[in-house]
């Protein structure tokens, strides 16, 4: 009787987990099979052909696409969102959100980009699992930001870390306070929870 109850409990847990984290499980399956989402030509940035000179003034705009080939991400970066939690959350259905208190990608120091790892399955959100596979990124992996004015920036992953939200973490403070032009990609961790966060730092390739 106890064994049967235990098996029912496990089955129910697995089912609920699968329902709540459907986007993440699909992303994991696609990654394991070597399948990545199709990136349309309009959203696919042209590879940078040469390093950016140190003193070059990088032209940015209010429209850009973040592309991470290794994990099949191609998402608009949503600019102009207030730093209020509700406003950020509401705009995660439009892509990944630039944290407005940080500079835009390429403007110097750390640019913070927020994205869902696994939004609620009953919500219609194309970008509900944009950052589901951030944990797969390793030092040396490349990602790109393409602005609609033709500026293409290439970043290289330097490190990743797991941290607790709403508490001071010297490692995160060091990343966010870096003088180098970089991206800091942040999402919930483990996937399907809001217990902690994952941050991936990628520095601008020059």
Residues 8-31 pLDDT 10s: 654 554 455 445 455 555 555 555
Taking each helix axis from N to C end, the angle separating 22-33 and 2-20, rounded to the nearest 10 degrees, works out to 80
Cα–Cα distance measured from residue 198 to residue 160, given in angstroms and rounded to the nearest whole number: 7
Please compute the mean of the pLDDT values over residues 166-171 and round it to a whole number: 87
Assess contact for 143 and 183: CB atoms under 8 A: yes
Report the SS3 class of residue 170: helix
Assess contact for 202 and 157: CB atoms under 8 A: yes
The pLDDT of residue 69 is above 70: yes
Give me the CATH number covering residue 68.
Answer: 2.40.260.10
Domain that holds residue 65: 2-204
pTM over 0.85: no
Q: What is the pLDDT of residue 139?
A: 97
pLDDT tens digit sequence for 97-146: 999 999 999 998 999 999 998 876 667 788 988 999 999 999 999 999 99
Q: Pairing state of beta strands 96-98 and 73-78?
A: parallel
88: pLDDT confidence band, cut at 50, 70 and 90?
very high
Q: How far apart are the first and last CA of the chain?
A: 65
Beta bridge partners of 61: none
Cα–Cα distance measured from residue 152 to residue 46, given in angstroms and rounded to the nearest whole number: 7
Domain count, the chain: 1
């Amino acid at each position: 009787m106890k064994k049967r109850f235990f098996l029912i409990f496990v089955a129910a847990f697995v089912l609920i987990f699968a329902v709540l984290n459907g986007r993440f499980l699909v992303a994991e399956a696609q990654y394991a099979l070597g399948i990545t989402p199709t990136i349309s030509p309009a959203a696919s940035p042209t590879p940078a052909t040469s390093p950016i000179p140190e003193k070059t003034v990088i032209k940015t705009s209010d429209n850009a696409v973040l592309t991470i080939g290794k994990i099949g991400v191609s998402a608009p970066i949503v600019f102009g969102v207030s730093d209020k939690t509700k406003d950020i959350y509401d705009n995660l259905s439009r892509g990944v959100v630039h944290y407005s208190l940080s500079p835009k990608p390429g403007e110097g120091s750390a640019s913070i980009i927020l994205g869902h790892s696994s939004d609620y399955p009953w919500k219609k959100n194309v970008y509900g699992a944009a950052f589901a596979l951030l944990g797969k990124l390793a030092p040396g992996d490349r990602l790109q930001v393409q602005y609609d004015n033709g500026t293409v920036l290439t970043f290289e992953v330097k490190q990743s870390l797991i941290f607790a939200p709403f508490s001071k973490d010297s490692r995160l403070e060091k990343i966010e306070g870096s003088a180098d032009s970089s991206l800091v990609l942040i999402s919930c961790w483990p996937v399907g929870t809001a217990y902690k966060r994952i941050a991936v730092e990628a520095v601008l390739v020059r």
